[in-house]
Every structure is written in structure tokens, then in C-alpha cells.
Amino acid sequence: MIKSTPVSKLLQTKCQNYQITNNVPLFKNILHYLSEGKHFISIFAFHFLSRQIFMIKITFPDQKIKEYPVGITGLEIARSIHPGLARAVLSVTVNGELWDLMRPINQDATVIFHKWDDEEGKHAFWHSSAHLMAEAIEITFPGTKFGIGPAIENGFYYDIDPGDDVVITEKDLVKVEQKMLELARSKEVYIRKEVSKSEALKFFTEKRDNYKLELINELEDGTISFYTQGSFTDLCRGPHLPGTENIKAIKLLSIAGAYWRGDEKRKQLTRIYGITFPKKSMLDEYLVLLEEAKKRDHRKIGKELELFTFSQKVGQGLPLWLPKGAQLRERLEDFLKKVQKDFGYLPVITPHIGQKELYVTSGHYEKYGKDSFQPIKTPSENEEFLLKPMNCPHHCEIYKFKRRTFRDLPLRFAEFGTVYRYEQSGELHGLTRVRGFTQDDAHIFCRPDQLKEEFLKVIDIIFIIFKALDFKDFFTQISLRDPDDDEKYIGSDENWEKAESAIIEACEEKGLNTIIEYGEAAFYGPKLDFMVKDALGRKWQLGTIQVDYNLPERFELEYVGSDDKRHRPVMIHRAPFGSLERFVAVLIEHTAGKFPLWLSPDQVVIMPISEKYVDYAKKVLNFLNNCDIRSLIDDRDEKIGKKIRDNELKKIPYLLIVGEKEAGSNEVSVRKQGQGDQGTMSLDEFAEFIKNEVEKQMQFS
């Protein structure tokens, strides 16, 4: 008779998991050792048996295959390759799924290891840090209830409810940080446990955490797991680090309010943001970068340069473009209009509203109606309009204006169309998240055999924009269907395969640095997103190209083919800027407000050294304006040194100093933003100099 102990139970369970039965002679020895209480010998026998008899094949990224014992962990595989790898690796992808390093692998698998430089590695690191912060908060503020705590692009956050009578302040963050460091140094281990739904509900009912109970009730039994480190247990799918010892540097960054599950009708929770690193030097570098990002904040610079503003009376998320900002925006529009004309686009204009039925037909109302501005009623009964959430339904109706044949295609309709989408107030952020914005929208209607060529031409347009605005560091993301869930997509498999192949082939032909994300396609077709890194290395999504078979079907768009039969066109959605608001925000932060000369609202400021030379300054101003050089005069009664400093802060590219010498020789003394004295030039020489610099910047073909 085997005495029931935790060890004996564990071994018997593992024997069942690995299908070790009485047919294996050594199994009888395990049972014998267990019956005599010889746990150490039985454990040794079990490991010897399972690892000798049951082997699995592990395939590495270089397609090399190696056999390992069943139940081996990702960390053990890494250690078998090199101890250095085991120290550096943070998570592992097993058969396409991101896993903890300590999860046993019980079947043949393909594995990819992730270090700090990989997004998957950072994800595990910061997700584990969110749990560490939650443990520290629970110790510091007993009774706190927890919402969600994900890893984000830079760090992590946790939404918490400390109780109605508790307010967590910035000062409290220092205490939580110190507790996190203390816990991290104690080398806590992250332990995964799969639990039944009833177990999960029981645990959090006893803990009185209604937020976790709500989440659990939405999960399927058999898909639920807990993670425990130290005294803290959380509902979580993972993955996590093996332990806390790698978390060496911690900074809790800010506190904000966040409605539970993003619903303004639910309780507002406290959201705490933080970031951690495996080295203190990395945290120090990040904090320096953070300070630089604050200096480059487009909201701050936009105000200083008088580009845009917001008004509570006008409404949240509705930007007001000031004269200098409007001029900058117009130049961007004019630039793209010229490019589009060269590529055969036709301008169209559509209204800011449309009948509700238009968006019901397109499918936008069904998908986004609840989260959009609500219908506008009119004096006529049953007549309802919506603020335009998309331009594409309007463009479909323009296509239907008359009969089309195969000879008419491709048709390229372009519009700088303002659209309106309701963003919750807590999600609004300067120009990057607004409720009214203008898209550089165009829709191409083409034959299936023209799809790839048109796609390539759109990529060319995006290249032109990036070159003109000095976005050198970017990659592309190809978003395809989820192969395991085709219910959320519209259209035939054949059309999807054609569209996906066209995008992949176009990217290969252009030699693009691409990543493929499955499950990220729009419901109507695959897409290509351009991800730009700014001067601080931050990623922004700018420019998108989407292939659509859905809207032509919904709007019954047709063309007569060469066979005299009716066919459906393919539709390409494209917006190289994305939206002008977001693009300008990114451009401001990328350049710190020091725009390229061709785009700068003010290209030149003329600074007379005293009131005596204001008349000559006006003569210079008139000359430059006649040369289409955007100029202004700073005729304040200030010393020239102060004028130089003030206008440097205004990011004006060129500063011209005029005094007795310059007035006498019909010249200007030239200073360049950030580069100082450029010498003296005649007016003609300076005008030619500016013209040449602009032409050089605009050589994009």
C-alpha cells in the first residue's frame, strides 16, 4: 500500500500524464519505492525513466532539430545551448504561443527564445513587473482590488481600486517603489497554476475582488490560470519571468484615472504607470529620454509656436488650427496634392454628414454605431443623419454615379475629408487622439489584375512623403487573417488569398523590412501599416494601405469587363499621412518643432539692430516676400542678443541681422537655426540660397 504524501501524489500524477504504466518494468520499482516511503529514490527513478524513454523533438529557428526529454522547460533548453543564453532569455515562443520559460514542454515543438531586445522579452519582463507592483500595493494598501495590469509599449500599468476612502498620491509611489525593490531582491518565483472556473470564482469571492470575478465569468472553463509570486496571486494567462531577481531598476511614473473596462458609466479606477529594467543604467537612459520627450511634446510646442489650440466651449477633442498651423497644414496638403496629381488621382469632395442608411449599407453603423456620435434628427419624420465617420461610403456612391467599364479602371478618388469619431474623454490626447480629424483619404477602384501594380504605386507615394520629411527609420506590418477564426471576416477565401498574396509580393518586390501579424487584418481585407520611429526611437503608425472586397459587394459596384460581363472591382483604401492631426503631432515631436525649410510656417525673421534700420528691414521683407520666401520682422526695442535667443526658441530656420553695414551694402548677415553665423550675403544670393535648399529638400523622385 502506497502511503499518501504530497510527493507520492505528485509522482503518480506525473506518471499518468506521461502515460507511464505497469508495462514499463521500472514503473513497478517506482511504486515499490513509494510504498516504502523512499521518495528520493523514486523521484530519481521517475526522472530517469521519463527522460530516457520519452523524448520530444525541438525545432529551432534555423530549422535544426534536437531531441530532449519530455517535460523539459524552455529555460533548460536554453541552458543546454549555452549558460549565457539561459541568463539572457526572458520568454519563449512554443508552437507560436508565448510561454513562460518554466512551463514544461510535453510534445514536439518549434521554439523561439526572446531576450530583452525582443518585444516578447520585454513583454514578459514588464508583465511580471506589473504583478510585482500589485503585490507591493496590496502590502502597502491592504484591501485593494485589482482590475487589469498589462505590459504596454514602454512599461506597464495596473488599474486598481484602493477603496472609497483611500487616495493614492504621487508621494505614495515612492513607498510602493521601495517595496517592489525589496520584493524583487527576495528572488520571488512566479508560479503558474491552471485552475477550474469554480476554483477561480471561489478564490476571488473569498478575496472580495468583484473586478476579477467579472473577468472570470466571461472565461471558458479549462482556459483559466493563476500566477503567484510571494503573497500575491492573480488571474493571468502569462507569460512571466521565472522570478523577480532580474528586475533591478524600478520607476513608477504617474497616476491617472481610468474607467473600468473603458466605460464612462462604470467606476473610475486608479491607474498607476511604471517601467522597470534589468540594469539601473538602462533606467537612467530612459529617464533622460523621457525628459527629452517632454520637451518635444507636441501639445507644448504647438502652443509655443501658435499652431493649434483647444476650447472647452468648442468641445473636447476638436482642434482649432491657428494661422501658422493652418499654413503648415495647407502646405502638407498642397505637397500631397501635387504628388497625387502626378500619380493620376482625381479630387473629390463629400459632405460632413450622411444619411444613416449609407453607413448601415457600408457596415460601419453595425460595427461602430454604439461608439460613434449618435444620429442627427431632422424635422422630417424617420430621417436621420450621422456625422461622417469614414469617407469610403461616399466614394463608393461617387463610383456608382455612372456606368464603368474595364477601360475606366483604375479610378483613383482623393479627398482631404474630415471625419468624426467619438473618443472617450479619458482617451483624448492632443492631436494624436481627437474626435474630429482630416484624413488624406483616397480610394482606388481597380480590376483584380491591377491590384498589385496599384498597391506598389501607393507604396511609392508613402516613400516620397517619408523622404521629404526625413523619416528614415521605419518598418512595415502586414496584417493578415487569423487562420483559426474566419468568422469575423467577410469575403471568399479565394479573394482573401489573392489580396494577401498581392500585399506580400508587393512588399518583397520593394524590399521592405516587414513583419507579419496574423489576426490583425480589417474585417473586409488585409492591410499594410507603416510604422515609423521618430528621433527618440518611439514607434508611430503612419500611413496605411488596405485591400477591400467587402464594400464593392455591399454597394453593388460593377464594371463591364472585356467579356461584356459585369464584374466587381477591388477597392484599395490608402492614407499616407493617416490623419493630418496625428501626422502633424508626430512631425512636431520628431523634429522638436524644427520643421524642414519648405514646410516651416516662418522661414526667415529679419532683426534690425536698432530702430534706425527698421526701414531697411522692411525693404528686405518686401524683397523676400516677392521671392515667395515666408518672412517677418522682429522690430521690438530689444538688444540683438535677446532677439536672437527669442527667435531661436521660435524654431525659425534663418535669422537675418541688419544694421548700418548691411543697409549700406544691400546685404544681410545670416544665422542658421542651431548652427550660428553663416556669413554675409547679398539679397539675391540669400534668395537663391533659400531656393536651392528648398529644391534639394523636395527632390523626392
CATH of the domain at 623: 3.40.50.800
Question: Are 273 and 340 found together in one domain?
Answer: no
* The pLDDT value given to residue 488: 75
Phi then psi for residue 368, to 5 deg, are: -120, 0
Instruction: Give the model's pLDDT for residue 23.
Output: 42
pLDDT of 693 = 93
8 A C-beta contact, residue 317 and residue 435? yes
Question: How many CA atoms, within 13 angstroms, populate the side-chain half-sphere of residue 530?
Answer: 26
Helix (H, G, I), strand (E, B) or coil at 352: coil
Q: Which amino acid is at 308?
A: F
CA dist 550 and 526 (Å) reads: 11
- CATH number for 191: 3.30.980.10
| C-alpha to C-alpha distance for 238 and 189, rounded to whole angstroms | 14
Residue 541 sits in the same domain as residue 688: no
Q: Are residues 613 and 523 part of one domain?
A: no
Residues 618 and 587 in one domain: no
pLDDT at 21: 47
Mark whether 131 and 105 lie in a shared domain: no
Domain of residue 208: give its range: 119-295
ω into residue 323 within 30 of 0, thus cis? no
Which 8-state DSSP code applies to residue 525? B
Both 331 and 461 in one domain: the answer is: yes
In a domain, 596, yes or no: no
Residue 454 within a domain = yes
* 681 in the same domain as 575: no
314 falls within a domain:
no
CB 491 within 8 A of CB 549: yes
Residue 95: per-residue pLDDT: 94
DSSP 228-268: EETTEEEE------SBSTT--EEEEEEEEEEEGGG-TTSPE
Instruction: State whether 66 and 123 are in the same domain.
Output: no
What positions carry a catalytic annotation?
Answer: 392, 421, 439, 441, 443, 527, 573
3-state secondary structure of 481: coil
Q: Is residue 129 part of a domain?
A: yes
3-class DSSP assignment, residue 478? strand
Q: Is position 564 within any domain? A: yes
Q: What is the distance of C-alpha 31 from the center of its chain? A: 55
d(CA 447, CA 521): 21
Give the separation between CA 398 and CA 71, rounded to whole angstroms.
Answer: 62
- 460 and 445, same domain (yes or no): yes
Instruction: Please report whether residue 301 resides in a domain.
Output: no
Residues 460 and 567 in one domain: yes
Total domain count, the chain: 4
Asked whether residue 100 falls in the same domain as residue 150, the answer is no
H/E element, 508:
helix 493-510
In angstroms, how far is CA 655 from the centroid of its own chain? 38
- Rounded to whole angstroms, how far apart are CA atoms 548 and 570? 6
pLDDT at 47: 56
Q: Does a structural domain hold residue 142? A: yes
Structure letter (DSSP) for residue 649:
H
Partnered with residue 539 across adjacent β-strands are 533
Mean pLDDT, each 10-residue run in order, the chain (701 residues): 50 52 50 55 53 78 92 94 94 94 93 94 96 96 95 94 90 95 96 94 94 94 94 94 95 93 89 96 94 92 95 95 96 94 96 93 80 86 90 96 96 96 85 94 94 93 90 89 79 81 89 87 86 83 88 94 95 93 93 93 95 94 95 94 93 95 93 92 95 85 47
Phi, psi dihedral angles at 476 (to 5 degrees): -120, 150
Which CATH number do you get for residue 514? 3.30.930.10
According to the model, what pLDDT value does residue 41 have? 53
The answer as to whether 689 is a domain residue is yes
* CA 425 – CA 423 distance, rounded (Å): 6
Same domain as 214, residue 252:
yes
Determine contact, residues 681/667, Cβ cutoff 8 Å: yes
Return the C-alpha cell found at 232.
500575491
For residue 67, the domain's CATH number is 3.10.20.30
